[in-house]
Structure 1
Amino acid sequence: MSKLIQETTSVSISNESVFYINKNQLPLHCPLPEMTLWNQHPRVFLPIEDTGKSKCPYCSTEYILEK
């Protein structure tokens, strides 16, 4: 196993997932690169800048923009 794979943190997608996003991670898309179930639905870009929060229409993962 490569060093890169060993250091990757797994994040599971579930109905109750909430992720805090900072401005450096924009534009926001789901699934995030570090999610283990990245291939469970198509990548969708989510608007978060205006309201400070967004929810994925596929997996219901919620995202909150940190200030």
Structure 2
Amino acid sequence: MTAASDRSNQPNAHKRVVVSRADLPMSCPLPAVELWNSHPRVYLPLEAERECECPYCGTLFVLED
């Protein structure tokens, strides 16, 4: 694995986050992450897709009822 493909040192570099409908609308980075140290906030279409990967950090968000 090269340093360029290693996301473990990036903010919000979670592999999988399970969310409920109460958490919608879902955005990445998560509220606990300081935005100055992360990527731009993006809203993810979990209602339609039920799972979605953040295009910036690769975190997989999964909607469970």
Same topology, TM > 0.5 = yes
Deviations 1:21-53 (A, max 9, x none): 101110010001123x54310000010111210
Q: Identify which of 42, 45, 50 aligns with 1:44.
A: 42
**Seq. identity, %:** 37
Q: Identify which of 48, 53, 59 aligns with 1:61.
A: 59
Residue ranges of structure 2 left out of the alignment (5+ in a row)? 1-10
Q: Please identify runs of 4+ aligned residues in structure 1 that moved more than 2 A.
A: none
Structure 1 or 2: more helix by fraction: 2
| Deviation of the 1:13 alpha carbon | 2.2
Q: Secondary structure at the match of 1:42?
A: coil
**Which position in structure 2 is the counterpart of 1:13?**
12
Residue ranges of structure 1 left out of the alignment (5+ in a row)? 1-11
TM norm structure 2: 0.72
TM norm structure 1: 0.70
Q: Let me know the Cα RMSD of the aligned residues.
A: 1.6
